[in-house]
Amino acid sequence: MRGTQLTITQFTLLTALTEMPRPRVNDLAEALAMDQTTLSRTLKVMEREGLISAVAGDDKRESRWIITALGRSRFRRAFPRWQEAQRSVEKALGVNGTQSLASAAFDLSTRLAT
């Protein structure tokens, strides 16, 4: 992610926000298998940087998150680099090796989250 002004965690959150309409922290934590406290801290940093914004949900006590124009711009700039990294991994490991790695990483994150 060098040169994109995003960390991989921020890129992952921006990806989720482009795919999920106005998610709550709980929605993001579940989808990304992240600790809610760590996620909330990261969201606040990203909000301060102008990448995302908190908006009121249907229930005024809950916050929902949206990606801002700046966040969308940085995401679009970073996406080709992420794709390039994915192709490099696939080239090094092959399709089956890449799928095995992704499956193992998902299994591990799921087990650590419970």
Residue pLDDT tens, the chain, 114 long: 888 999 999 999 999 999 998 999 999 998 888 888 999 999 999 999 999 999 988 887 788 999 999 999 999 999 999 999 999 999 999 999 999 998 998 888 777 766
Structural domain contains residue 2: no
Structural domain contains residue 3: no
Question: What pLDDT sits at residue 71?
Answer: 97
Number of domains within the chain: 1
Number of CB atoms found within 10 A of residue 30's CB:
13
Structural domain contains residue 75: yes
* CATH for 103: 1.10.10.10
In the chain, what's the furthest Cα-to-Cα distance? 49
Q: Range of 53's domain?
A: 8-113
Give the amino acid at 4: T
